Chain A
Amino acid sequence: MLMFVLRRIGVMILTAIALTFIVFYMTNLPPNLEKLAKSEASVRMDDDAVASWLERNGYGGSVFVRYGEWLGVMPGWTLTDEDGTTRGRCIAEGTDPAAAPTFCGLLQGNWGFSTVFKQPVTEVLARSLGATGWLMLWVMIVMVPSSLLLGVLSGMREGSRTDRVLSTFAITTTATPEYVSGVILIALLASATAGISPILADAGWISGKTLFPGTATSAMDDITFWNFFLPVMTIALYGIGYIARMTRASMTEVMTQQYIRTARLKGVGFRQVVMRHALRNALIAPFTVIMLQFPWLLNGVVIVETLFNYKGFGWTLVQAAGNNDIDTLLACSVVAVFVVLVTQLISDIGYVFLNPRIRLA
């Protein structure tokens, strides 16, 4: 067990290094740096001025060295200006250069400074991850039970009318990407001119103009059913369909197993067969799928948070990418890599506990 986890963690670290290096390289391509120089100093700089600005601000040198500095395994750059002041990566403005640490990267907790939000990246990340955490929590609370229920109901009698109706629903939702379902939901429920809101408003059943608000910005301070329903549903719908399909496949397979026949011919009623004999066996496969949904949710929130203007992780990522905020972008990718790898590890270990016949080696 311990060896397995250690080995997996080793692989995870290697993967994380490789992935972050790729992101680092891409965000530090010369055109990006040029844009950065122009936005930080002056838009009207010529090429020589850009080059010298980059040189003076530690963007010269090889990409490997700069990656090492960012990671915190190489000493941060220092430069002494013509006027005698020493500046460097690890030297905060107005402090004594001699007292500054040699290393200041990711490993030392220095995640950089966001050029968009004018805040340290750690603060930006903490805020946005917190917001996204709430969103994901509610998505999971809605998505997991309902999708398992749908899957089990449609899988227990394959080919029945219930199965066909539920399968149609599941296929439809999982075939609709968030940017489509989100727009449809807004048009249907949160538009003053289309969908059901005008009808309800005319009838006097709702006080405002729309049933649901079209943005979730207010949920940043106070989550309510009304401001959170649409973003949660937009993400959950896709996942519900997907997990329900997986559960259904697993359930139909279990229902054709011989031990189900044994149970039936023991005289066990159909409901009991499903509850006692089929359910646990059928839930083993969807478990892995659900765990793999976490990294995928990170991807889903990019669209939904932008659509509903909810300032979480996805929204931050979009802002950072759109405004050439290299440090924030890098930090986001670190978080994403971490989430993906950790959930996979949890899923592998959890699988062993669910299914005692599986051995990891």
Chain B
Amino acid sequence: MSDTTWDPSKPILEIENLSISFFTRLREIPAVMDFSCTVMPGEAMGLVGESGCGKSTVALAVMRYLGKNGRITGGSIRFKGRDLTNMDDEELRKIRGSEIAMIYQEPMASLNPAMKIGAQLAEVPMIHQGMSKQDAWKLARQIVADVRLPDPDRIINAYPHQLSGGQQQRIVIAMALMSKPALLILDEPTTALDVTVEAGIVDLVKDLGEKYGTSMLFISHNLGLVLDVCDRLCVMYSGEAVETGNVEEVFDKMRHPYTQALFRSIPLPGADKNARPLVAIPGNFPLPHERPKGCNFGPRCDYFIEGRCNAQDVAMVPVPGDDRHETRCLRSTEIDWHAPLAAAKVTEKTEVGRVVLKLDDLKKYYSVSGSAFGGGVGKVVKANETLTFEAREGETLAIVGESGCGKSTFAKVLMGLETATSGQIMLFDENVQNTPIQMRDTGTISKLQMVFQNPFDTLNPSMTVGRQIIRALEIFQYGNSDEERQARMLELLDLVKLPRAFADRMPRQLSGGQKQRVGIARAFAGGAKVVVADEPVSALDVSVQAAVTDLLMDIQRKNKTTLLFISHDLSIVRYLSDRVMVMYLGHVVEMGTTEQVFQPPYHPYTEALLSAVPIADTRVQKQRIVLEGDIPSAVNPPPGCPFQTRCRWKSRVAGGLCESEVPPVRMLEGGHQIKCHLPDDVLASMEPVIKIAAE
């Protein structure tokens, strides 16, 4: 802008040998070490890594917002040729928001709850360009329309809590675009959103990047998303950049063992729990003050050589033959990168047995009150509509859908935390739909258990791990003496592959993956036959996800457990489930075996869902279907088919049937069920959303 010394052919952002430390009373904790990267004008740079690897710290360092105890201890950050590391507050304030803008992970938390959207947006040009209030509001309205929000006049006068998560994120994006910044930093912008909403946001970000020529620093843990959005990529591990280069080169010709391990641990199409299982990265992420000498990844690396990899600090070296492709590995030229995966254990598909769980026409309605003080007309939320299915012994049934589709309500009803409005749940030979959990007998409770989403909150922080498992055993009335229960507890720790010494540890001493293992041990303490796993790995890092999923599969094979796997992550569902049930607004819209659901004919919603999932594989070609709008509120569902407001196939159904009638459940061949009005020939003409290009 006003800077005349900057030449547009030079990098817009140049980070050189940046080191950042946080200072606590005890010690200095290095968060980022020797980090370098350059972003050219108009380029989108991806920063990828697991939680705690320092990617957000880099982003905040560019903004110079490290909090009281964070400090840049070395290196430089040059933005348009000017060094940000030694700017004073006033200069920084002028750059923030006008030339560098940031988009955050949680849109709800990043918007001021007590200010109108318009005021929050208009503030930016008023500060930076001294625009009048009227003009600023006018501009705000226009940008709100630019980020494709319907009815901008209503939205700029609304408060944040009146918008949905996707709309809020669009507002945050609009706020970042208010003064046409040169650099946009996106910190996990879609992590808190549903996949179909995510697809819309990603599309928007890409378009806006092209329209305004904005450079982007895109931070994510999702490799598929990075492939979608970015031109270049930088993989981080434990505070260091380990590999950087063009996205295609890094994806297809990775030259760092960590990058390779990361790709092997995520469920790409083609992975299969029996024939081609995922390979988890062994060991744990090192704590910032306990990093090993030499290569940080050394202790977890398959190619580790004692005395060489841990001898001295490893520097970034260019990969010969590629464009700006660098790796932090001493052995990058020695390793045979194309060697096939070392004989992964192949397991037999488990046989499914008798029916253990049978739902018949289950309904769950809630009534909510209308106005702020509890008066007004009561409304009914139909959280679950006519759920009918059965699950067999040893089977994995996945329940898929976006937030608000009723999958968690179903879990609550099944567990007995809520009772059904009507319909039947048969667990073995017992009707449990009207028995709340406190009325169920110990046998039923121990047979039907749950693994929860967030392992960080589900363990009692003031009880040792062993004690918590023993407590579960006591409740399930297992064993006759404390010794028996103690022995069983140790067996359970073996089962979930935790060292027996962990029995005496407190939950805070465990990592996320280890906590989730404790959660699994607790669920299986009473020999559970049916386990409801509610997003059991979505809070965990990818490398840990593989290990935990693997464990669940293992235990399932051993115990012939029926697993109800609730998830919004279709990649993992495709990897591990036998049958899939897709839910939308309380309705089951499609159900069938995994192959049936992931192949055409699809339900239009399943089709959109599949298309929205980012896949980290350069060979995959996807048909892009972006759903318009938000999920309708369950308080006020659309008439007829619940999906008709967003369906792209609606015009193919004659007579406006979609708007007037809820479609009946149709049986296609092989027990594949679809709740849709589309005629057979249209269903048959559907093309696969995901194609893997020939190698």
Asked if A280 and B110 sit within 8 Å, CB to CB, the answer is no
Residue B106, interface by CB 8 Å: yes
Residue A92, interface by CB 8 Å: no
Residue B63, interface by CB 8 Å: yes
**Of the candidates B63, B68, B106, B115, which one forms a contact with A265 in the assembled complex, judged by CB atoms under 8 Å apart?**
B63
**Of the candidates A1, A257, A266, which one forms a contact with B124 in the assembled complex, judged by CB atoms under 8 Å apart?**
A266
Q: How far is the CA of A262 from the CA of B103 in the complex (A)?
A: 9
* Least distance between B84 CB and chain A CB atoms (Å): 13
Interface size class of A (residues with CB under 8 A): 20 to 34
Asked if A258 and B106 sit within 8 Å, CB to CB, the answer is yes
Asked if B109 and A259 sit within 8 Å, CB to CB, the answer is yes
Which residue of A has the minimal Cβ distance to B89?
A270
* Least distance between B21 CB and chain A CB atoms (Å): 20
Asked if A3 and B374 sit within 8 Å, CB to CB, the answer is yes
Which residue of B has the minimal Cβ distance to A160?
B68
Which residue of B has the minimal Cβ distance to A3?
B375
Q: How far is the CA of A264 from the CA of B102 in the complex (A)?
A: 11
Q: Which residues of B contact A267 (CB under 8 A)?
A: 93-98, 124, 127-128
Contact with A along B108-131 (1 / 0, CB 8 A): 011111110000000110011000
Asked if B127 and A262 sit within 8 Å, CB to CB, the answer is no
Q: How far is the CA of A269 from the CA of B89 in the complex (A)?
A: 9
Which residue of B has the minimal Cβ distance to A264?
B65
Q: How far is the CA of A261 from the CA of B63 in the complex (A)?
A: 11
Question: Residue among B63, B68, B96, B373 with the most chain A CB within 10 A?
Answer: B373
Residue A361, interface by CB 8 Å: yes
Q: Which 8 A-B pairs have the closest CB atoms?
A: A361-B374, A267-B97, A1-B373, A266-B97, A258-B109, A267-B96, A259-B112, A4-B373
Q: Which residues of A contact B584 (CB under 8 A)?
A: none
Q: Which residues of A contact B94 (CB under 8 A)?
A: 267
Q: How far is the CA of A262 from the CA of B127 in the complex (A)?
A: 14
Q: How far is the CA of A47 from the CA of B124 in the complex (A)?
A: 85
Asked if A265 and B109 sit within 8 Å, CB to CB, the answer is no
* Least distance between B118 CB and chain A CB atoms (Å): 14
Q: Which residues of A contact B93 (CB under 8 A)?
A: 267-269
Knowing that A259-B110, A281-B112 touch, tell me 7 more A-B residue pairs with CB under 8 angstroms.
A5-B373, A264-B65, A266-B175, A267-B97, A281-B113, A360-B373, A361-B373
Residue B369, interface by CB 8 Å: yes
Residue B365, interface by CB 8 Å: no
Residue B285, interface by CB 8 Å: no
Asked if A261 and B110 sit within 8 Å, CB to CB, the answer is yes
Residue B159, interface by CB 8 Å: yes
Q: Which residues of A contact B253 (CB under 8 A)?
A: none
Q: Which residues of B contact A118 (CB under 8 A)?
A: none
Q: Which residues of B65-98 are within 8 A (CB) of A?
A: 65, 68, 93-98
A-B contact pairs, 7 of them (CB 8 A): A3-B374, A262-B102, A263-B112, A265-B96, A267-B95, A268-B127, A357-B161
Asked if B374 and A4 sit within 8 Å, CB to CB, the answer is yes
Which residue of B has the minimal Cβ distance to A272?
B127
Residue A164, interface by CB 8 Å: no
Q: How far is the CA of A196 from the CA of B94 in the complex (A)?
A: 52
Contact with A along B156-180 (1 / 0, CB 8 A): 0001010000000000100100000
Contact with B along A344-361 (1 / 0, CB 8 A): 000000001000111111
Q: A1-B371, A2-B375, A3-B374 are in contact. Are A266 and B96 (CB under 8 A)?
A: yes
Residue A35, interface by CB 8 Å: no
Residue A38, interface by CB 8 Å: no
Residue A209, interface by CB 8 Å: no
Question: Residue among A2, A5, A276 with the most chain B CB within 10 A?
Answer: A276
Q: How far is the CA of A263 from the CA of B119 in the complex (A)?
A: 12
Residue A127, interface by CB 8 Å: no
* Least distance between B90 CB and chain A CB atoms (Å): 9
Q: Which residues of A contact B373 (CB under 8 A)?
A: 1-5, 352, 359-361
Residue A56, interface by CB 8 Å: no
B-to-A contact residues, CB < 8 Å: 63, 65, 68, 93-98, 101-102, 104, 106, 109-115, 123-124, 127-128, 159, 161, 172, 175, 369, 371-375
* Least distance between A72 CB and chain B CB atoms (Å): 33
Asked if B96 and A277 sit within 8 Å, CB to CB, the answer is no
Q: How far is the CA of A263 from the CA of B111 in the complex (A)?
A: 9
Q: How far is the CA of A262 from the CA of B101 in the complex (A)?
A: 10
Q: Which residues of A170-227 are within 8 A (CB) of B?
A: none
* Least distance between A220 CB and chain B CB atoms (Å): 42
Q: Which residues of A contact B68 (CB under 8 A)?
A: 159
Q: A1-B371, A360-B372, A360-B373 are in contact. Are A268 and B123 (CB under 8 A)?
A: yes
Q: How far is the CA of A261 from the CA of B105 in the complex (A)?
A: 12
Q: Which residues of A contact B123 (CB under 8 A)?
A: 263, 266, 268, 276
Q: Which residues of A contact B374 (CB under 8 A)?
A: 3-4, 359-361
Q: How far is the CA of A360 from the CA of B376 in the complex (A)?
A: 12
Which residue of A has the minimal Cβ distance to B112?
A259
Q: Which residues of A101-123 are within 8 A (CB) of B?
A: none
Which residue of B has the minimal Cβ distance to A358?
B372
Asked if A280 and B114 sit within 8 Å, CB to CB, the answer is yes
Asked if A277 and B112 sit within 8 Å, CB to CB, the answer is yes
Q: Which residues of B contact A358 (CB under 8 A)?
A: 372
Asked if B175 and A257 sit within 8 Å, CB to CB, the answer is no
Asked if B110 and A258 sit within 8 Å, CB to CB, the answer is yes
Which residue of B has the minimal Cβ distance to A157?
B68
* Least distance between A278 CB and chain B CB atoms (Å): 9
**Of the candidates B109, B114, B127, B371, which one forms a contact with A266 in the assembled complex, judged by CB atoms under 8 Å apart?**
B127
Q: How far is the CA of A268 from the CA of B128 in the complex (A)?
A: 9
Q: A257-B109, A267-B94 are in contact. Are A1 and B372 (CB under 8 A)?
A: yes
**Of the candidates A1, A159, A258, A268, which one forms a contact with B375 in the assembled complex, judged by CB atoms under 8 Å apart?**
A1
Q: How far is the CA of A361 from the CA of B370 in the complex (A)?
A: 10
Q: Which residues of A contact B372 (CB under 8 A)?
A: 1, 352, 356, 358-360
Q: How far is the CA of A314 from the CA of B369 in the complex (A)?
A: 44
Q: How far is the CA of A257 from the CA of B101 in the complex (A)?
A: 18
Q: How far is the CA of A261 from the CA of B56 in the complex (A)?
A: 14
Which residue of A has the minimal Cβ distance to B159?
A356
Q: Which residues of B contact A357 (CB under 8 A)?
A: 113, 161
Q: Which residues of A contact B106 (CB under 8 A)?
A: 258
Q: How far is the CA of A3 from the CA of B377 in the complex (A)?
A: 13
Which residue of B has the minimal Cβ distance to A281?
B114
Which residue of A has the minimal Cβ distance to B114?
A280
Q: Which residues of A contact B98 (CB under 8 A)?
A: 267
Asked if B375 and A262 sit within 8 Å, CB to CB, the answer is no
Q: How far is the CA of A245 from the CA of B219 in the complex (A)?
A: 39
* Least distance between B244 CB and chain A CB atoms (Å): 25
Q: Which residues of B contact A277 (CB under 8 A)?
A: 112, 115
* Least distance between B69 CB and chain A CB atoms (Å): 11
Q: Which residues of B contact A280 (CB under 8 A)?
A: 114-115
* Least distance between B161 CB and chain A CB atoms (Å): 5
**Of the candidates B96, B97, B113, which one forms a contact with A259 in the assembled complex, judged by CB atoms under 8 Å apart?**
B113
Asked if B161 and A356 sit within 8 Å, CB to CB, the answer is yes
Which residue of A has the minimal Cβ distance to B64?
A265
Q: Which residues of B contact A264 (CB under 8 A)?
A: 65, 96
Q: Which residues of A contact B101 (CB under 8 A)?
A: 265-266
Q: How far is the CA of A76 from the CA of B68 in the complex (A)?
A: 73
Question: Residue among A262, A277, A358 with the most chain B CB within 10 A?
Answer: A262
Asked if B175 and A265 sit within 8 Å, CB to CB, the answer is no
Q: How far is the CA of A100 from the CA of B128 in the complex (A)?
A: 80
Q: Which residues of A contact B175 (CB under 8 A)?
A: 262, 266
* Least distance between B402 CB and chain A CB atoms (Å): 23
Which residue of A has the minimal Cβ distance to B109?
A258
Asked if B115 and A276 sit within 8 Å, CB to CB, the answer is yes
Q: Which residues of B contact A1 (CB under 8 A)?
A: 371-373, 375
Which residue of B has the minimal Cβ distance to A284?
B114
* Least distance between A223 CB and chain B CB atoms (Å): 38
Q: How far is the CA of A360 from the CA of B114 in the complex (A)?
A: 19
Question: Residue among B94, B97, B114, B372 with the most chain A CB within 10 A?
Answer: B114
Asked if B104 and A258 sit within 8 Å, CB to CB, the answer is yes
* Least distance between B154 CB and chain A CB atoms (Å): 16
Q: How far is the CA of A263 from the CA of B63 in the complex (A)?
A: 12
Q: How far is the CA of A4 from the CA of B369 in the complex (A)?
A: 13
Q: Which residues of A contact B371 (CB under 8 A)?
A: 1
